[in-house]
């Protein structure tokens, strides 16, 4: 098995500098997004699924609406699939909603 050589001093300095600059940029440029301020695993899961192949600006209004309609994993699991798709529709790729509901149902079972 090939071993990966550890970074040399120049590479390590570059990585540290790049990391520092990236964190500094993020500290000043980060967007205030609701899924960054919650520790609710369900809300984070919903955001992760919604953000697949969909721009943040399109997700933001639907994220809040979806969580208001289905505030818990149990609520999502108990809903009709038609209602879940209806709440999801403007985001496209509706199978994401169906799979999210399927996941919710498996967890609840």
Q: Judge contact between 47 and 56, C-beta under 8 A.
A: no
Q: pLDDT by residue (tens digit) across 19-77?
A: 999 999 999 999 989 999 999 999 999 999 999 999 999 999 999 999 999 999 999 99
In the structure, what pLDDT confidence band is assigned to residue 98 with cuts at 50, 70 and 90? very high
Q: What is the pLDDT of residue 1?
A: 63
Q: Where are the domains of the chain?
A: 34-108
List active site positions. Answer: 48
State which fold the 34-108 domain adopts: Endonuclease III; domain 1 (1.10.340)
pLDDT top residue among 10 and 56: 56
For 73-96, how does the pLDDT look when each residue is reduced to its tens digit (9 = 90+)? Answer: 999 999 999 999 999 988 989 999
* CA–CA distance, 106 with 91 (Å, rounded to integer): 24
Q: What is the pTM of this model?
A: 0.77
């Amino acid at each position: 098995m090939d071993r990966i050589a550890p970074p040399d001093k120049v590479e390590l300095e570059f990585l540290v500098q790049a990391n520092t600059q990236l964190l500094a940029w993020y500290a000043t440029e980060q967007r205030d997004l609701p899924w960054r301020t919650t520790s609710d695993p369900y809300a984070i899961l919903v955001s992760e699924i919604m953000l697949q192949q969909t721009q943040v600006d399109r997700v933001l209004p639907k994220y809040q609406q979806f969580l208001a309609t289905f505030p818990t994993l149990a609520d999502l699991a108990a809903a009709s699939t038609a209602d879940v798709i209806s709440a999801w529709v403007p985001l496209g790729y509706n199978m994401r909603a169906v799979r999210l509901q399927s996941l919710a149902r498996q967890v609840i079972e």
